[in-house]
Structure 1
């Protein structure tokens, strides 16, 4: 019996030692788990009312509050006001049902700084399956949130200026428009670009251009209200969104004008860049909006139309959108679309207006382009030629004109009456500035077999004002081929006599505007007389354009003019309609 007792006692002691070892191991494991949790997690326990009953060191460290300052308080002590009330109402509704809640929370530390935590709140349930306390386990994700915010900022802001980019601008414009359902009144969109900005880039380099854009963005931001948006639309274009301009349209227009003038004056102050003083001006187009049904994309288009009008009106000014402008812009766009296809569709035709001598004998013709649109009929040259210049279509169209005129010259070589005639072709600055222009014309002459000495290129004074040295060099190359030159509309530009004498010209053409009033305006008569005398002194010919009456012709002959062009002799006609020489005077 004693042995049995001893055995049982020994066994009991052995089990006790084992239990104590297991308990110590469990305690050590719990200690290690708690240590690991405290090292990496932010932990707090609360009662069912949300009052904090326990926090770990990590909580105190990130919140900057001591344990004594936290225990007995609710989590309102670290509320950042970042989240709406509904956010926490949802949290409490979830954990009150005994369910786990998880989400990202922005809190405020004791010094006022914000930090983000990824939070999991676990309800601890009693026997009745209802929460008796809550444990919140959090991880610091501030760095991740800051990286996300930085990435988002990069996606929505211009990297050069830091301003909202096109995407964010469109979002804010959409918000401003939709807000009219709640807050009636006018807002406005201003689209702005910098006049002659390309010259800054071209002459001083893109680095200086970028610095200029940065300074412009700073001035624009300082010149508007905090509630307004200044965005970079792209390149040198900026957008300003103004809201809450009142319910009176006239008052809203006045407000936009005041803002636009403030912006203009702010940008007008000189800039010191790369050791140089730079001045630049803005052109601005504005459109008002006051309905939630306004289409943001359409507003941008309308502001762009107004901006185009401002630049066309001389730059450095503000223009408001007018629906009539939109109709004109749409019509222009459709015309440009059709103009692109006009050469391929064989819609162009050259008409010729005779140039006659004092005996009314034809010495040559001027080739004049006519566009016969399949829907609109003949489109006036003053409508489509400027469009061709602006869009660059003047290059393929101009080549077609040269080829067609040279083919006509070649054909006239078989006509005894017309083989000595010249054809004058107008050449734009854009054509002449092509580096390949001389070679292009040489190939046209070779292809058509046209005599080069019967081709006369007409240039305007404005063409000669750009790249003078390059232009003279090209003219001399073409003269070596036999091509001749006329200076068209002489007297209407700003010709410099210092380079006029260097130009290999064969003719000056007196503009029609001086011929019209030679009997009513003594100044026009004096100018016409002076041009004829100048041509004679330079030993070049002179042609009077726009001659419409016998009296005008008589006066011009008496004053030394030898060649004439105008309705008195013939309107521009198709080549097969050119009259025999001499031409009878029109009645």
Structure 2
């Protein structure tokens, strides 16, 4: 009798312990998963009251659908072997459908003359996971500005160096320093200084392409990473210098906080690196920091490169940029026209090619000045000038019956084309000059198709509505796919010179050229082959069915084309 009473007291104690435990969900299940025990903590963690849970199965209550087969196998194994399985972190289901992360332990209690019961003891991990997430955030983010910190920037650099796409692309790392920031803290207080740093961080976020390309390194220093996009050191240097100039312009705007205006000054140190590379992130930061110290010591330059050769390239680029701003007014630009011919070598039109002859810098290649014009925006007035001069030539040719059929092809920069007023500008120039739009053709590059294809198509349709025809230049080297090609309102495809030059080698270019010609003819498009330099190329292109040709064999670009019109 005493033994039974002691057993009842012991069971009551354990029930009291299980029922009152707030930190641990304890459930009891039969072999088929039916709930026979459900303590108060289970109600709190999973949302079901004891009355709701009793008689239901754990599969209906807390096991996500995708886990049911696996859990049923585990439960069957435990009842068969009368023992539990190792504890584990599981994502179970709340009554409201949300996920409940728990650390779950299991055991099977089997007593004589009683059915075995599986007990599950689940610790709620939500608070722990939130704490872990906060620790993780503090490990990688600056608590004041909420920007990535030095550690995350180093990991970002390492990842970029390992996983860079493309062939030996070049990345840039910029360190931005707020000059004499300590004076703000000393004169106005640290809380005011913190607000200035937050304001600077928000301004810099406008210049980062992704959330982890900008970091606060500490105190008043920020780092910005330009990923591997440029294909040469010169291009990367130009892009980084342009970005640094924009950053300084924004940071040096008067800052108003608490009715006080403060004038900030800043310096930028820049380093470049080829990708992929074994160069460590710490080394890149060190190089950029050396460049930054050079900029801070200088009383003239607020932007400095770690590589002195890049500084020379940037200065040369700045010189070209400044000279380009006056190229039109100083009458330094010229149009050179290269003839386009048919199979009988009869001239059917010309491509207008821009030339720049500077009185001191001599002849400057379009490959050098066009990217600068696009980056600085001077391509807009220059593009208008090219179009106007081309239209004036069309008007001149129209006065001669023998030449009124001639077309002129004008290259259009993506920077021009993406402007909302581009079509309006074209229409105004056509009206002002009186040129026939049916003799004007715009050559667009495939890079236009990399973004906002709907806008591109709409612009092209508006141009064709004016009577202007459209050519897709260097087809096969860029972004165009057959899916895009069928959508575009085109009149012409131009075969890139790289494919044409490959014809003599019997390489892949021959197959690609033949495919483009066949594709163009099937879509009722004119096809022009560029870069024709040998009689063999000219004959092979004719055999493939190409009708129009352009290249040094048939005529080189000239500013005076009277010889081609005889």
TM-score normalised over the length of structure 1: 0.52
1:465 to partner: Cα distance? 2.0
5 Å-filtered alignment, 1:99-138, equals none
1:157 to partner: Cα distance? 5.3
5 Å-filtered alignment, 1:438-587, equals 438-580=423-565
Aligned length: 339
Matches of 1:163 and 1:361 in 2, distance apart?
A: 63
1:380 to partner: Cα distance? 1.1
1:498 to partner: Cα distance? 1.2
Partner of 2:69: none
CA contact (8 A) 1:156 1:164 kept: no
Relative distance call for 1:470 and 1:298 in structure 2 (3 A) is same
After superposition, the C-alpha distances for 1:296-349 in whole angstroms (9 at most, x for unaligned) are 45674213xxxxxxxxxxxxxxxxx22221222111111111100001111111
5 Å-filtered alignment, 1:266-345, equals 285-287=288-290, 295-297=297-299, 300-303=302-305, 321-345=306-330
Partner of 2:378: 393
Partner of 1:151: 188
Relative distance call for 1:150 and 1:489 in structure 2 (3 A) is same
Partner of 1:354: 339
CA contact (8 A) 1:230 1:239 kept: no
SS in 1 for 2:326: helix
Partner of 1:230: 221
Relative distance call for 1:451 and 1:259 in structure 2 (3 A) is same
Matches of 1:564 and 1:153 in 2, distance apart?
A: 70
CA contact (8 A) 2:268 2:304 kept: no
> Is 1:216 matched up with 2:215?
yes
Matches of 1:366 and 1:286 in 2, distance apart?
A: 48
Partner of 2:198: 161
Relative distance call for 1:552 and 1:405 in structure 2 (3 A) is same
Matches of 1:152 and 1:296 in 2, distance apart?
A: 29
Partner of 1:365: 350
CA contact (8 A) 1:350 1:369 kept: yes
SS in 1 for 2:538: helix
1:288 to partner: Cα distance? 5.5
1:536 to partner: Cα distance? 0.9
Matches of 2:429 and 2:185 in 1, distance apart?
A: 62
1:427 to partner: Cα distance? 0.4
Task: Indicate the structure (1 or 2) with the bigger Cα radius of gyration.
Answer: 1
Matches of 1:163 and 1:543 in 2, distance apart?
A: 52
Matches of 1:286 and 1:360 in 2, distance apart?
A: 61
CA contact (8 A) 2:373 2:379 kept: yes
Q: Point out the more displaced range, 520-529 or 436-445.
A: 520-529
1:573 to partner: Cα distance? 0.3
Matches of 1:289 and 1:467 in 2, distance apart?
A: 38
> Is 1:413 matched up with 2:450?
no
Partner of 1:259: 282
1:537 to partner: Cα distance? 1.2
Partner of 1:315: none
After superposition, the C-alpha distances for 1:62-84 in whole angstroms (9 at most, x for unaligned) are xxxxxxxxxxxxxxxxxxxxxxx
SS in 1 for 2:315: helix
Cα RMSD after superposing both structures: 3.6
CA contact (8 A) 2:267 2:296 kept: no
After superposition, the C-alpha distances for 1:448-468 in whole angstroms (9 at most, x for unaligned) are 000000000000000122221
Q: Which runs of 4+ in 1 moved over 6 A?
A: 162-166, 235-241
SS in 2 for 1:363: strand
CA contact (8 A) 2:391 2:433 kept: yes
Relative distance call for 1:425 and 1:336 in structure 2 (3 A) is same
Matches of 1:545 and 1:442 in 2, distance apart?
A: 29
Matches of 1:216 and 1:289 in 2, distance apart?
A: 16
Partner of 2:55: none
After superposition, the C-alpha distances for 1:386-437 in whole angstroms (9 at most, x for unaligned) are 1111111101100111111111111110122221000000001111111111
Partner of 2:368: 383
After superposition, the C-alpha distances for 1:546-570 in whole angstroms (9 at most, x for unaligned) are 0001110000000010000000011
SS in 1 for 2:401: coil
Structure 1: tracts of 5 or more residues without a match = 1-146, 167-192, 201-208, 222-227, 242-255, 265-283, 304-320, 582-587
Relative distance call for 1:230 and 1:298 in structure 2 (3 A) is same
Relative distance call for 1:387 and 1:240 in structure 2 (3 A) is closer
Matches of 2:209 and 2:485 in 1, distance apart?
A: 27
SS in 2 for 1:287: helix
After superposition, the C-alpha distances for 1:70-127 in whole angstroms (9 at most, x for unaligned) are xxxxxxxxxxxxxxxxxxxxxxxxxxxxxxxxxxxxxxxxxxxxxxxxxxxxxxxxxx
